[in-house]
């Protein structure tokens, strides 16, 4: 009989079979959905293709985790640290991303991602968006603006902001215009 601590250690395993068995046992015990994992450090986790449907991963540190092709529909990733996480082709249908940090995350080809989900995150600086473009700053996210202020970027200068995001001025302005119309 595994304890929650033992299962969390198994989630950190580089072996896919060990991780999948731990996820299955967490689900059976109700610990995947009840918040038992909230705030846990799962940096570099190997969750590629994992079934995390309806999982409560709020506040979990998933820094550089591989969540490619993961089933994350209806999961709670609110406040999660997804810095440099790999989310390619993951299913994000009705996934809570409110306050999540997606700094330099790879969102290439994610499925079922809605604009409201993107607008609710804390930071997307340097993220690869589903269409393979680098995030252009269009959502004026709190974390991105704080990061720009920290870097002494003049937030009243569109060229300075475009330079900060590493995108051409016209791309930044088009993004802001499409966001204001959307």
With helix as H, strand as E and coil as C, how does the chain read?
Answer: CCCHHHHHHHHCCCCHHHHHHHHHHHHHHCCCCCCCCCCCECCCCECCCCECCCCECCCCECCCCECCCCECCCCECCCCECCCCECCCCECCCCECCCCECCCCECCCCECCCHHHHHCCCECCCCECCCCCECCCCCCCHHHHHHHHHCCCCCCCHHHHHHHHCCCHHHHHHHHHHHHHC
Domains in the chain (CATH in brackets) are 35-135 (2.160.20.80), 137-182 (no CATH)
pLDDT in tens, 87-96: 999 999 999 9
Quote the pLDDT of residue 60.
Answer: 98
What is the rounded average pLDDT for all residues in the chain? 94
pLDDT in tens, 114-159: 999 999 999 999 999 999 999 999 998 999 999 999 999 999 999 9
**Closest to 106 (Cα-Cα) out of 77, 142, 66:** 66
Q: What values do phi and psi take at 41, rounded to 5?
A: -90, 115
Q: How confident is the model at residue 16 (pLDDT cuts 50, 70, 90)?
A: very high
């Amino acid at each position: 009989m595994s304890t929650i601590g033992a299962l969390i250690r198994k989630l950190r395993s580089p072996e896919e079979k060990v991780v999948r068995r731990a996820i299955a046992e967490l689900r059976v015990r109700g610990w995947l959905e009840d918040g038992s994992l909230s705030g846990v450090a799962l940096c570099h986790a190997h969750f590629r293709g994992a079934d995390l449907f309806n999982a409560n991963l709020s506040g979990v540190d998933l820094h550089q985790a591989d969540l490619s092709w993961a089933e994350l529909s209806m999961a709670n990733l609110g406040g999660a640290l997804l810095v440099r996480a790999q989310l390619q082709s993951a299913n994000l249908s009705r996934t809570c991303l409110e306050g999540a940090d997606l700094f330099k995350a790879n969102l290439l080809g994610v499925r079922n991602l809605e604009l409201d989900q993107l607008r609710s995150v804390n930071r997307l600086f340097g993220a690869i968006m589903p269409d393979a473009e680098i995030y252009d700053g269009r959502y004026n996210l709190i974390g991105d603006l704080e990061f720009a202020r920290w870097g002494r970027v003049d937030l009243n200068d569109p060229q300075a902001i475009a330079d900060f995001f590493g995108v051409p001025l016209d791309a930044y302005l088009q993004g802001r215009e499409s966001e204001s119309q959307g």
